[in-house]
Structure 1
Amino acid sequence: MDTQHDNALAHALAAIPGPVPPSGVIHIVIPHTNRFTVVGNHLAQHAGLSLVAIGIGVHIQSLPAGSEISIKTLAARFPEGEVKIASALRELEAHGYLRRTRVRLAKGRVATRTVFCNQPGAVLRGGVVPGAPGAPVVGAAVRNPAPAPALVREHLRVPEPDPARVREPGPARVPEHIRVREPEPTAVAGARPAPVRLPAPTAPKQPRRPLPHPHALTPERRQAASALPADLRRHAVELVLSEEAVEELVPGVAAWLERDATTDAIRHALTADLPKPLKHPARLLRHRLTALLPPPLPGVHDLTAPRRAPVTPFQTCDGCERAFRSHEPGHCRDCRAPYGEAA
């Protein structure tokens, strides 16, 4: 099977017209007949967008109108997290590909309306006129639209603007017909206006605690503190650190060693219950060395039990045989006067 696959690839390369480049990518172009999306190079090769933003932009452009493209929906579809997807959507919004507006619905509800433009440069230059042939078509909000025929998709393509008619780009301004207008609230007799909900204030971010440092960093302790983080990859394959990261963790490990923590105890604290997947091993080790720092070991005198106060023993009175407290035998307080004993 491998030989047939190699032969097929060789035949496909031989069928490429023109000379084959000596290095770099080689394209084998097969025309699409169904299920394809036209994506401009201004998006696929955008110099100001990250690779995640370009991929999400192409994915959104390939979806039918009415599809859900919230951050949680995209995070459930792709392995990237919500933070990275939200940053990519902000990049697309900053370059004009995406526009998100909050509109007020009936009964005071607020919803987010998302508009994606496949050619923001043409809209900003005024190269597209609404109602003219080749103008962009805004799809209806349907959940499962039927695929458009190939002939219809050909008529819906937006033509490239004529270079002779392109004016100098002015300030970034979206035309009036592209802007999303907020719907006017329906007037109801006796109804109170909907309360405006203000965003909840976010708590200030706590500053990161500094890495602990030892009081005295001897050469022997520095060597042990440098060898322990570098050896963690033998016990957990996720903890592969660079030389720079190992040098940054040396003061924290030395602080643990200064407090008489054994190497086995430090290794167990750093490798136990690792998250899956582990994206930043050096940052995790720095947090554990700071948050789980043990206190210094107590001295021998700190562990001794406190002494109890001396207790005066009981004695039996020689006269009335009552019990009383005294260090020496004798008579009680009532019997001392007749016998003339000193208090």
Structure 2
Amino acid sequence: MDTQQNTALTRALTELPGPLPTSGVIHLVIPHTSRFTVVGNHLSQHTELSLTAIGLGVHIQSLPAGTKVGIKALVARFIEGERTITSALRELETHGYLHRMRVRLTNGRMVTRTVFCNQPEEVLRGGAVVRVPAVVPVPPVPVAEVAPAEAPGPVVAEPAGAPALAPAPDPVPTPVREAHPPVRVPSRTAPKPPRRPLPQPRELTPELHRAASALLAGLRRHAKELVLSEEHIEELVPGVAAWLERDAHPDAIRHALTTDLPQPPKYPAKIVKHRLTALLPPPLPGTEELPPVRHRPLVIPLQNCDRCDHAFRAMEPGHCRGCRSELLEAS
């Protein structure tokens, strides 16, 4: 088998046009017809990237859209370790080939999107147009439909010993590329749109302030991740007051602030602020000219301690402060 391969290789080398180089690599180029990727020399011959980063960049560029290219997926695919692959990904990010962005979905969750750019210099210049052509296979067209048959001409006798002429090959139809609108890639230096400010009530009454503070402080009862500091609660009170002023029920506000939280939420106060701003309901029709709604003060009911039967104020039954401290020390 090895002899056959060497013979085929020798025959292929003899068919190369021009003289062969006396040293260095010899390219035996066989055109690809399927499953190939066009890679620029700026990546394959990059002078500042490591060989691992170049190979990883070529691999990622050859993958179809939607393939996972996270560190865990690449470690499971290749023999290189996590540190080597992480370092190669950072090299590609440094030179603009790889971009990892945190994007917020409509439900408030944060996800990481990975973008690989085959020509980062064009993106940095600004105004780069990305086209995504799709090749549509075309069935072979009969020869009779490509060109009409010509009338037979006079028969010319070939001289003896002349080589026979090979029949002309059938014309190959050109693949039709589907037209797509150009996709504009935003420049990395483009200014970001300003963030919307936190909603403000028309009048922050003491009743609204107390109700909004109690609602924000009690969010951790419904979502243990939303533990807000006193400073954050004081900052977010106007946003909740604007919801209450628009006659939003406290249960509806809690549901909007605690449903489908990203795991784990790194910045609970920022999540609450974003949802208070982005999900603010419109005022009810006909209430724009009404005076501000004065809500009843929040009254915390009395509860009897399940352990010592002493009375204490809390929204739900349980233990008083002294019993909670003793149970915590005992545990």
Larger Rg belongs to: 1
TM-score, length of structure 1 as denominator length: 0.42
TM-score, length of structure 2 as denominator length: 0.44
Higher RCO (CA < 8 A, seq sep 6+) = 2
